[in-house]
Every structure is written in structure tokens, then in C-alpha cells.
Amino acid sequence: MPGMFYGLEIARRGLNVNKQAMQLTGHNVSNAGNEGYTRQRLVIESIYPNTKNRFGRGVTVGAGADVTQIDQVRSQYIDRQLRDEYASLGQWDKRSEEMQFIETIFDETAETGSITTALADFYDSLGKLTTDADSEEVRTVVQQNAIKLCETFNYYSDQLTELQKSYNEAMSVSVDRINDLLTSIADYNGEIMGYELGGQKANELKDSRNMLLDELSKLVNISYEEDSSGRLSVSVDGTVLVDHTTTTLLEAVPDQTGVVSGEPNFYSIYYEGTTTDFAYSGGELKAYQDLRDSNTADNMGVPYLLSRLNTLARSLAQEINTVHETGYTIPVGAGASLTGVDFFELPAGGYGDITAGNISLSAEVLANVRNIAASDTAIDLAAADTQKGNNVIALEMYALTSSTTLGTVGSFADYLKSFVVEVGVTSAGAQEMAGSQNTIIGNLETRKESISGVSVDEEMINLISYQYAYSASSRVLTAIDEALDVLINRTGVVGR
């Protein structure tokens, strides 16, 4: 049988446990609004009676309660699911954001300023040229509308190239951030290991590390393992980047040129110190890379849009020029009626060198509107029959505007239309993906919050029970104290 003081010990432990429970409630409530906080719970165990104290017969009550651990309430399963989805979310969120920006460049819903409007105005002036081939005013309108069309092409090309450059910068910034995160995670790994070797639970450090993992998983698709001794490793597409406290970092090296645009200083991402390409398949980094490099319709990026525009500009220049070259100009001053004049500037390297970024009118047409060749016969202003009203070539050029059998593009207008619609469809698709990804993440986060979040109501109710338990333990103490008082001060004093 344990002695009377044994009861005091039990009461002391009761006070201790409930005091800690109240403190933990305070800790939880304080962190109720903390985003990365995982609610903690005391693991309280009742203490088995010490068998060595069992001298005689009879039974012994337990030795009260003790706090053995402070646990985090979290589901590893949901964490893992979340981080898989975060990579997808990061990728689609960025993609949809950027596609929405790109579609504002190709704003076809506006009445003015779009590339289809510029093309239509050019067509319109070509149409006028067919009815007024001799009019200098109409020729000036043709020239000005063609300049506007070229400038619109140039503007779109510039905008897209700037976008491509900004994605390139974003990749480099993302790589820096990934490196920061990898380094920090490795640091935390070391700290957590050291802390837990001392026997304590490193709950707060783990919360911080989890937040870093969350952020990292949005940037790039990661997978991670924690072995039985608590060593965490992080890998991307099979390559280990963090192995407990050692890291393999990444490096953005500006050693390539932009796809289609040919801009210099585009980054390759290597494992640091090597020239091996970093292998990854998701996250914001992937979204930026797709937008920067992708030249296919199913995963359209800036290069795809640029090459479609280039094809259109090139084809327009070639088709118009081919017809225009066969025509004759109105003589300027004492000059002759010229033939073989280009309408659009033909670069030294041929039509293949024409891009949306450099398309321009030929020097001749820029210099004088009379050099627009609308006639199929030479014009002689001095002759009785000037042929100034000859509109045969103007008609042929105008016929191109409604032709649907042009070599590379079929029809200019249809090509442009299908291309603009493609941008819209892609953007809508990306928004839908981002939306559904957000729903999935929302669900998972709700489930995570349901498990790990702090409920103030719950904590308050716990607080009430802890408070009562604390008061009750005090009462037990008082009761034993009174019993001892009787035993010590008032026992055996009979007859005094």
C-alpha cells in the first residue's frame, strides 16, 4: 500500500497535466488564425502503479496522469494529395492567368485596333483601288492602310516577344526561389532532427517546413519521402534534390535563344555545375516554360502564336508581291512606268526572312503612291491613251482577299479567324482547368482544415473541462491536506 503522500503526488500530477492542457489550449487558440498551423493535442497517459511499492496484499490505484507527448493532428495522406495537386494548380493557374493576358492582346471583340480590323481596312482600300486605279487619294489610302497593317503586325509581334522575355525572366526567378526553398528545407531537416534527438517534438519547425514544401510544390512537381528516423528527402521526376541536409541545386544559364523569336539570353535550367537539363513536368515553372517555348497547337505558347503571325505576314507579303510585281506603276516625274516593283519589302534572304516583326512596305511604295502597280500595261502619261485607268492588277490583288486557295494559309481572313478563335478556346480551356483544379484544392484544403484546423468552440469546451479538472485536482489536494492535518495535528492528542 502506498502512503498518504502518494495521493498528494497524484493530485500534483493532475494539476500539472491540466495546467499544461490549458496552456496548450492557449497555444492552439493563439494560432487559430495562423495559416500553416497544425492543431496540437496532448497525449495524456495514466501512470501505472509502481509495482515495487506493493509490499503487502491488496491493490494499488494508478499514479495519476502524465503528458507523454505533444502531437500534431494532421493527415499525411491529405498532405501528399495536396502537394500533388498544388503542382497542377500552380501550372494551370499561371497558364490561365497568362492566357487571359494574351487574349487581351488579340482583342477581337473591340471595334477598332485589332489585327482583323487592320486587315479588313487594307482589303477595303484595295477594293477602292479597283474602282479608282488612277486616283492618287485612293492610292494614298492603300499605302496608309498597308502601313497600318504592317505596324499592327509589328506591334503584335513586339508584344508577344516581350511576353516571351518576361516568361524567360520568370523562369529564372522561379529557379532562384526553388533553390531558396530547397536550401531552407535542408536546413529545417537538420534542425528538426537535432531537436527531436533531444526527445522533444519539433512541431513548430515541422509546420514551417510543411509550408515550404507547400510553396515548393506549387513551383514544381515534387515527391518526398520521410524515412522512419525522420530524414526527409525531396525529389523531382526521380532526381533527389534534397537528401536530408544535402541539396542538389539548380542553375539558370542564359545559353539559348528564344524559340521562333530568336531573342538572345534565354535560360536553360541545369542541375548546378552541370549541363544536364533539369527534368520536371509540372508547377508554375512548367507553365512558364510552356508559354515560353511551346510551338504546338495543343499546348500553345508564345512561339506558336508568333509563328502563326509570321506565317500570315509572310504569306500576305508573298501573295501580294507576286501579283504586284507583274503590274506597272504610274510614272513619277519624267520616269518610266516601272514593272517588277515589290509592294512589301522583300528581304535579301527571300520571303522566308519576313516575320510579323519586320514586315514593311517596299521603299518604292513608301516613297511614292504612284509606285503601287494597279495596271497590267505600261502607263504613258504623255500618250493619247494613258492607260491610267487600267485596274487589272488591282483586281488580281483584290481577288486574293477573298481567295480560299492561297498556298500556306488558304485564306488570310479565315487563317486569322481560326487563329484568334484558337487563342480563345485555349484560354477558356486553361481557365476551366484552373477552375476545376481550384475546386479540388479547395476540397482537399477543407478536409485538411477539418482535421488540422483549430476550432475555437472546441478549444473553449476543452478549456472548460480542463479548468474543472484543474479545480478538482486542487480539491483532491485540499482533501488529502485536510486528512493529513487531522492525522498529524489532531491524532494521538487524546487527553491533552
Partner 1 sequence: MRVTNNMMMRGYLSNLNNNMSNLSEYQRQISSGKAINNLSDDPVGLISVMTSKMKLEKNDEYTATVDTGLTWLKQTDSSAYELNQMIQSAYETVMEVSNDTYNGDDKAAAAEYIMQLRDHVLALSNSQAGDKYIFGGYNVDKEPFTLDAGGNILYNGIDLTNAADPDLIARDGESITYEIGPGITMDISITGTQLLGMGDDNVYTVLDDLYNDMISNAPGSTLGGYIDKLQDCQDHVLAVESRVGGMMNRLDLLQNRYEQENITYTELRSKVMDVDYAEAYMHYSMAQAIYDGALQVSSQILQTSILDYMR
Binding site residues, partner 1, CB under 8 A: 32-33, 99-100, 103-104, 106-109, 116, 120, 123-124, 127-128, 130-132, 134, 375, 377, 383-392, 395, 398-399, 402, 413, 417, 420-421, 423-425, 427-428, 431, 442, 445-446, 449-451, 453-458, 460-461, 464
Closest CA to 317 of 358, 364, 267: 358
Our CB check for partner 1 shows the closer of 72 and 358 to be: 72
Our CB check for partner 1 shows the closer of 2 and 453 to be: 453
Our CB check for partner 1 shows the closer of 13 and 94 to be: 94
Query: Are the C-beta atoms of 320 and 343 separated by less than 8 Å?
Result: yes
Our CB check for partner 1 shows the closer of 261 and 391 to be: 391
Which three-class secondary structure state does DSSP give residue 343?
Answer: coil
By the 10 Å C-beta count (0-12 exposed, 13-18 middle, 19+ buried), 174 is classed as buried
Residue 409 C-beta: closest distance to partner 1, Å:
15
Closest CA to 146 of 121, 172, 115: 121
Our CB check for partner 1 shows the closer of 200 and 439 to be: 439
CA distances (Å), origin 31, targets 20, 288, 427, 459: 16, 35, 40, 12
CA distances (Å), origin 136, targets 24, 128, 141, 370, 374: 88, 11, 9, 7, 12
Neighbours of 206 (CB within 10 A): 20
Residue 201 C-beta: closest distance to partner 1, Å:
22
Residue 463 C-beta: closest distance to partner 1, Å:
9
Our CB check for partner 1 shows the closer of 117 and 245 to be: 117
Residue 32 C-beta: closest distance to partner 1, Å:
7
User: Would you state the cell numbers that stand for residue 10, as one nine-digit string?
Assistant: 497524484
Residue 329 C-beta: closest distance to partner 1, Å:
15
Which three-class secondary structure state does DSSP give residue 347?
Answer: coil
Query: Are the C-beta atoms of 23 and 496 separated by less than 8 Å?
Result: no
User: Would you state the cell numbers that stand for residue 28, as one nine-digit string?
Assistant: 492552439
* DSSP notation for 465-489: HHHHHHHHHHHHHHHHHHHHHHHHH
User: Would you state the cell numbers that stand for residue 39, as one nine-digit string?
Assistant: 492543431
Residue 109 C-beta: closest distance to partner 1, Å:
5
Our CB check for partner 1 shows the closer of 37 and 266 to be: 37
Residue 235 C-beta: closest distance to partner 1, Å:
31
